[in-house]
Structure 1
Amino acid sequence: MIKIFDGGFGSQLISKSICFECPEELNLTQGEVIKQIHKEYADNGADIITTNTFGANPLKLKSYDLEDKVMEINVAGINLAKTTGKEIAFSVGPTGEFVKPVGDVSFEEMYEIFYRQLEAITISQPDYVIFETFSDIGELRAGIIALKDIFKKHNIKIPILASMTYDSIYTLTGVSPAAQGVILDALGVDAIGINCSKGPKDILELLVEIEKYTSVKLIAQPNAGMPEIVGEDVVYSMSASEFANQMKPYFELNMGYIGSCCGSTPEFTKELRRLVDSIEVKNIKENKASSHGYLASKGKVVSSEAFILIGEAINPHARKAVKLYMEEFDIKGLTSVISEQCLKGADVIDINVNAEGADKKALARELVISGQLNSDFVLCIDSKEPEIIEEALKNYAGKALINSVALDEKELSEILPLAKKYGASVIGLCIENEILPTTIAETVEIAEKLQSRLLSEGIRAEDIYIDPLLFTNKTYSISPLDTVEIVRQLSNKGIKTSLGLSNVSYGMKNRDRLNQTLLSMLIGSGLSMAIASASSKGIVETIESAQILMGKEKISNKTYIELEDIDKLTIEGELIYQLINKEEPSAFDSLLAEKTEQEVINTMLIALDQAGKLYDEKTIFLPDMMQVVEKVQGLFDRLENKAKSSHTLVFGTVYGDIHDIGKNIVKSVLKPFGYNIIDLGKSVTKEAFVAKAKEVNADIIGISALMTTTMVNLEPTIEYIKSELPNVKIIVGGAVVTEDYARKVGADGYSKDAIKAIGLVKSLTEVDEK
């Protein structure tokens, strides 16, 4: 049975002609209006009514001086929705900030923000909790984990629905549909999907991709197309019947919930009701792909359907340089090793921070956070210490692997709860109560007991890998060839296996050749993954050859950027390549020694331009772009004659709009050009824009609007500014703003994103200089 959600809320609020700044505060001041909107959707066939609590988290409410009313506003929102007699979904939206490394908020801080909002369900319990319109998987994970902890503390369980919004075929921060499916499935949510973003046709193909990687129900709530300006109103031209017609293909998928988002009205809900009632919904069988084990970073998915190479280098016992990096807390050095392994073919990166004298917890935290900024890597945390494992898992915005847990009550009780809480896979080590097996039969028996125990503790079969142990030849009763046989037997029983490959050749000559030979035998016997040297060309080629012969294919995941127009043989080309691929910009000093500072500046500006083009093509994403900007800014700061401009820019969000992520990104990418940038923050009045612009003699005022409910404030704001400051240029942008709308409201320029803003500002300031 497919259940129908209600539709757009903001458009309905506007139609009621009431004045407000914070939509969620209306739960306390205009309860009858909120109830009326809920009732209109209920009367038109909605099965589920969404609470007016989307932005009722402490961080957003603080912008309206309502932080002390978090509980009151959220509980009121639930109770108002309950008056319809329908099922209720408690709405939780993004905070407007991102979790490290994408943003500046720590996991703990984000967790606490969501925990405070979600506690409302302990006072007035809804039927569902829906996380919606998220673009950062790290932020979404924090919210879901906070909710699961509330469930545990209060002994309650409510279905969790988790929905993201897409900028293209990726979210703003680079999350792929496949990764979304894998990560959220592992966290145990009850439905996964997409809302807002675009219209039904555009969202469908993304949902098809998600379905490949999860067997849970799907949810879709598209917009009613894209907004347009008609007269003085923001309208969506798609009709309710056209919307419903475009939703028909969704019924071929494993849908659990459908609805509509921005621009929709109760009429859209009525048409969806007719559609659902008239279509015989197929009984979708469980996704066959769910039998495979998946691991994922935000944009990369690794499947056990093909062999998985886990890079072993981040281990103080593997490389002397790594040991030194850890002792000196050299995170930059360690992240460079992660990047190196990814480039050479590692599917997953094993991180072992067990260096003597090192602050292991801090190492795990900072290495995982910084590592994600430099490389889109899949994490395997290699530790027996619960606090180290948890520090790594909570700061990793993906589905990780824990290496490892033995058949030991203490280990099982400490580590398995972490795997379940953070949605991680587990390697089970064939050691029972600290005793090693001595025969093939004993090893297989322990492996089966371990597999059974992990299953009984709630770890899914697809998330379990068994390590039957591998010893150096002639040093133990179980030989490497015995291990090959053990792997074969376990594989025949449907048990996935993992091994530390380099153990077999420890202290021996021709290590790489021995490792390669044994690896080919193990893969042929069914080995699923191995921790090995990704730096070994022979190891990587052995795996590639085995995959071809076995007819298996890895999921394609791009790990570096091809720059066809850049000649890397020149110093300039090398610097540009290093900046965009997030490598240490070692070519900078060579370039500075040979070129003038202006030529160096020009090269870095070319790098920004190249990065901007890659961002437009969705080859890199917001975190990547911001890191290029940060590196360029750092290099600018080293120059004696830093880039300077005589031009002053004033930025702020339009009055009523508290969403300032886009504005902040624009500021960041413009900073290297030396502009004097003044930020007035969020929800800025037209009078405040004028006062500050006069005070600092501004050349340009930049105004952003994210919501359809606030973009209508752009025109009166621009009109007032131009009447007071006719010579100041005004530029606008934001998710719902279009070039046509910008022109209509009198703006001098429009930019659809931060990168385009660079060229826009340059063109406007160059005009002034002529």
Structure 2
Amino acid sequence: KFPAEKTSGAASRVLSARDSLEEVVKAAVSNAQKARSRIENEVLSADELDSLRAAHLVPDGQPPSERPHYIAFDIGPCGKLLKPMGDLDFEDAVSLFKRTFRIGLPCGVDAVLVETMNDCYEAKAAVLAAKEVCGELGLDIPVFATTVYDENGRLLTGADPETMTAIFEGLGADAFGMNCSLGPEQMAPFVPRLTTAASIPVIVNPNAGLPRSENGNTVYDVTAEHFAEVMTRIAGSGADLLGGCCGTNPEYICRTVNALQNRKASPVAEKNLSVIASYTHTVNIGGKNAPVLIGERINPTGKKKFKEALRANDIPYIVSQGLEQETNGAQVLDVNVGLPEIDEKKMMVAVVGELQAVSALPLQIDTSSPEVMEAALRRYNGKALVNSVNGKQEVMRAVFPLVKKYGGVVVALTIDESGIPETSAGRLAIVKKLYDTAAEYGIGRKNIIIDPLAMSVSSDDKAPVATLETVRAVHDAGGNTILGVSNVSFGLPERELVTAAFFTMAMQSGLSAAIMNPDSEEMRKAYACCCVLSGHDAQCAAYISFAEKYAAEKEKQTSSSADGERLAALRRIAAIASAASGGTVSPDVSGAAAGGTQAAPQNTAPAGGSPLQHAIIRGLKAEAAAGTRELIKTAVPLDIINNELIPALDVVGKGFETKKVYLPQLLMSAEAAAAAFSVIKGHLAKTGTQGKSRGTIIVATVKGDIHDIGKNI
């Protein structure tokens, strides 16, 4: 039967139609609220613990099957924004949730419900904390999680339903869905999106419509009868756990239970979708999707400048490599910062955090160290691509548990203790071992992407044939494949020509994803042409867009336009920012652009925008400060504000208003503008210039409230 629940939005929770339960839970909630300050110190009184236990209304030890209802330990947001939007560190958030769970979970609850989350990063912290505390206490209870969507189907920080599906499934949540903020009619359109993507049960807990004020009281516009009608439709869309949030009461739940009395929930079907995610959107791998482009340039191998940047802790240079690849069509960014003389773990965590602060692209965590891999996966905001595991038993034992715990799609190399097989048959034997071993850890094939290994044709002219045969065999068996395609041309002149041809052959053989250089003109041309000729480009739209940009870029290259000066200025500013941060490297900034089949939300600069405007729009604090220092040598401070800072913030504001930019990007742009303002203020103080006072304005908001974010912007 459909479970029904009443969550904390209306100050009491009812999991059955029994009115008596409402009063008991009211008492428990009241005592819990009084105890909030003591929870901070990990102390609860005996009376408060008794209130938690009393919610069961049954003697301790009675089997759950004999209880008239189930009790969930319900927890909401911690009330602080996590970095980079706020000042709360991810691990501190996990610790806050753990302290609460350690108090409540031993009290005999049947489940954990993490609800009313509007930030997927905080939701991850809470679910991770719940799972880890359950492990500490030896408890085998389900963990549910629900988030809050706006009328456009987005969290406050930008995630859509498909993104939250990927993240919660990856973390091992037992059920997930949405609650609060919307009424049942407004939630209904999002339910099919959840059930289509999810391989776990879906929860739907709407409010009793939308609130309004009458005579100083908050009332809701949906009756209990209409609520039950819509919930019946929602059940028909595949939702499995139904309930109510703000404005609902026992009557709403009772009517919903009665309406669904004779209906049984259908088994949840396995969707077999290979999906990775950032904090805003998903990228689907394999199936009928075009091959995914993974930018390879955040990697020190064979890159002198990149190695210098790692040694100098030059994060701005590393981030610039990611942003340039995003501009040129990368859909995922590979992140490899392995260098013997640096602290790889510290650098990986820093680079992942800085990249996610300014780019919405999913990341591929690329490391051979399980310790580094865990540190990155734990802090990654989304569901990552993990590079890599292989057929060696020691490596599988180290990597598969991390993928199971934190979620991810793992790249699996066809190499084991015996080396790399020369034939496709030998590599396919390793593929079977990888699939079978992953299954022992509870990892399905949808979360494995096979790398048949592209070897240099200059050292073995038969190697590419074996690689392509393996790609085709895995594809025909329903699996996904990935290749680092540039390896094939190592040691040859005019490498791009060979790499692009091999890339085309691999795509024709069924390649699911490629680790490649998106800045390569030959690679972009090969990808655009292959997609349009293989049915991955409806009405040739992406190819036409690519061709237009390609033609425009060729025209730019043959003229001495102002764009050349802009790029030169951008290089100078990036170099200044790099030096200011302790770095020594000037990035190679490209103005080229190519079409991609999947677009990430991003801050977009207007045509002809200045380097400073681009830095603010992108949320690059060091570059914004450096650009302002450069401009202020010749420009009037007020002109910089009016002609540079305000227009850039207008672009970001319009993007936020039209849902093309989300809160994380908005806040990073605001911080970049603040860095520029700081330079201007410092200049005015140094030169003794005084502006005319126009009085004082005080903006007062509740600390931590959503409006506090706007005030700080």
Residues 134/53 of structure 1: CA separation in 2 closer, same or farther (3 Å cut)? farther
Taking the TM superposition and a 5 Å limit, the aligned residue runs for 1:10-29 are: 10=10
Gaps of 5+ in 1: 13-36, 654-658, 670-770
For 1:635, which of 658, 676, 696 is the aligned residue? 676
**How far 1:122 sits from its partner (Å)?**
4.7
CA contact (8 A) 2:404 2:441 kept: no
SS at match of 2:205: strand
For 2:661, which of 620, 624, 643 is the aligned residue? 620
1:515-538 CA-partner distances (Å, limit 9, x unpaired) = 111111111111211211121133
Greater CA drift, 543-552 or 346-355: 543-552
CA contact (8 A) 2:701 2:708 kept: no
Q: Is residue 125 of structure 2 the alignment partner of residue 142 of structure 1? A: yes
Measured in 1, the distance between the counterparts of 2:221 and 2:115 equals 24
**How far 1:68 sits from its partner (Å)?**
3.7
Taking the TM superposition and a 5 Å limit, the aligned residue runs for 1:375-390 are: 375-390=359-374
Q: Is residue 189 of structure 2 the alignment partner of residue 205 of structure 1? A: yes
1:663-688 CA-partner distances (Å, limit 9, x unpaired) = 4313312xxxxxxxxxxxxxxxxxxx
Taking the TM superposition and a 5 Å limit, the aligned residue runs for 1:262-661 are: 262-277=246-261, 280-281=263-264, 283=266, 286=269, 290-304=271-285, 305=287, 306=289, 307-433=291-417, 435-476=419-460, 478-552=462-536, 556-562=598-604, 566=606, 568-569=607-608, 571=610, 575-583=612-620, 584-585=623-624, 588=628, 591-593=631-633, 595-603=635-643, 604-639=645-680, 640-641=683-684, 646-649=695-698, 651-653=700-702, 660-661=704-705
Q: What does residue 711 of structure 2 align with? A: 667
For 1:90, which of 69, 73, 89 is the aligned residue? 73
**How far 1:56 sits from its partner (Å)?**
6.4
Measured in 2, the distance between the counterparts of 1:225 and 1:10 equals 13
Residues 427/375 of structure 1: CA separation in 2 closer, same or farther (3 Å cut)? same
Measured in 2, the distance between the counterparts of 1:347 and 1:427 equals 16
SS at match of 1:451: helix
Measured in 2, the distance between the counterparts of 1:536 and 1:77 equals 65
1:407-437 CA-partner distances (Å, limit 9, x unpaired) = 2222122111111111122111111125221
CA contact (8 A) 1:516 1:539 kept: yes
Measured in 1, the distance between the counterparts of 2:377 and 2:27 equals 31
Q: What does residue 699 of structure 1 align with? A: none
Which letter does structure 1 place at the counterpart of 2:18? A
Measured in 1, the distance between the counterparts of 2:123 and 2:319 equals 25
SS at match of 2:176: strand
Which letter does structure 1 place at the counterpart of 2:600? K
SS at match of 2:655: helix
Q: What does residue 61 of structure 1 align with? A: 36
Measured in 2, the distance between the counterparts of 1:489 and 1:650 equals 64
**How far 1:250 sits from its partner (Å)?**
0.6
CA contact (8 A) 1:100 1:106 kept: yes
**How far 1:590 sits from its partner (Å)?**
5.9
Q: What does residue 62 of structure 2 align with? A: none
Residues 324/450 of structure 1: CA separation in 2 closer, same or farther (3 Å cut)? same
Measured in 1, the distance between the counterparts of 2:247 and 2:339 equals 56
Computed over aligned residues only, the root mean square deviation of the Cα atoms, in angstroms, reads: 2.9
**How far 1:53 sits from its partner (Å)?**
6.3
Measured in 2, the distance between the counterparts of 1:210 and 1:335 equals 33
CA contact (8 A) 1:53 1:74 kept: no
Which letter does structure 2 place at the counterpart of 1:230? E
For 2:220, which of 216, 236, 242 is the aligned residue? 236
Greater CA drift, 351-360 or 589-598: 589-598
Q: What does residue 80 of structure 1 align with? A: 54
Measured in 2, the distance between the counterparts of 1:512 and 1:470 equals 15
Measured in 1, the distance between the counterparts of 2:380 and 2:297 equals 19
**How far 1:145 sits from its partner (Å)?**
1.5
Measured in 1, the distance between the counterparts of 2:369 and 2:661 equals 35
CA contact (8 A) 1:403 1:426 kept: yes
**How far 1:611 sits from its partner (Å)?**
2.4
CA contact (8 A) 2:422 2:463 kept: no
Q: What does residue 762 of structure 1 align with? A: none
- Runs of 4+ aligned structure 1 residues displaced above 6 Å come to 48-51, 53-58, 71-74
Which letter does structure 2 place at the counterpart of 1:42? R
**How far 1:390 sits from its partner (Å)?**
1.0
1:637-674 CA-partner distances (Å, limit 9, x unpaired) = 11123877631426353xxxxx62324313312xxxxx
Measured in 1, the distance between the counterparts of 2:164 and 2:39 equals 34
Q: What does residue 707 of structure 1 align with? A: none
Measured in 2, the distance between the counterparts of 1:54 and 1:313 equals 55
1:536-582 CA-partner distances (Å, limit 9, x unpaired) = 1332332333333332368743344456xx5x4364xx543442233
Q: What does residue 107 of structure 1 align with? A: 90
CA contact (8 A) 1:300 1:557 kept: no
Which letter does structure 2 place at the counterpart of 1:632? A
Residues 558/73 of structure 1: CA separation in 2 closer, same or farther (3 Å cut)? farther
TM-score by length of 2: 0.82
* Aligned residue pair count: 629
1:172-207 CA-partner distances (Å, limit 9, x unpaired) = 111111101111111121212110011112122223
**How far 1:132 sits from its partner (Å)?**
0.2
CA contact (8 A) 1:244 1:275 kept: yes
SS at match of 1:162: strand
1:269-320 CA-partner distances (Å, limit 9, x unpaired) = 1221122125x45636615xx2231000011211113211211111111432
Which letter does structure 1 place at the counterpart of 2:618? N
Measured in 1, the distance between the counterparts of 2:46 and 2:536 equals 55
Which letter does structure 1 place at the counterpart of 2:712? S
Measured in 1, the distance between the counterparts of 2:416 and 2:15 equals 60
Q: What does residue 42 of structure 1 align with? A: 18
Residues 593/474 of structure 1: CA separation in 2 closer, same or farther (3 Å cut)? closer
**How far 1:214 sits from its partner (Å)?**
1.4
SS at match of 1:641: helix
CA contact (8 A) 1:56 1:92 kept: no
1:465-505 CA-partner distances (Å, limit 9, x unpaired) = 11122211142485112211121122222232221111111
SS at match of 1:484: helix
Measured in 1, the distance between the counterparts of 2:360 and 2:437 equals 33
CA contact (8 A) 1:325 1:331 kept: yes
Which letter does structure 2 place at the counterpart of 1:158? I
Gaps of 5+ in 2: 59-67, 538-595, 686-690
Q: What does residue 129 of structure 1 align with? A: 112
**How far 1:72 sits from its partner (Å)?**
6.6
TM-score by length of 1: 0.76
Residues 637/217 of structure 1: CA separation in 2 closer, same or farther (3 Å cut)? same
Which letter does structure 1 place at the counterpart of 2:123? L
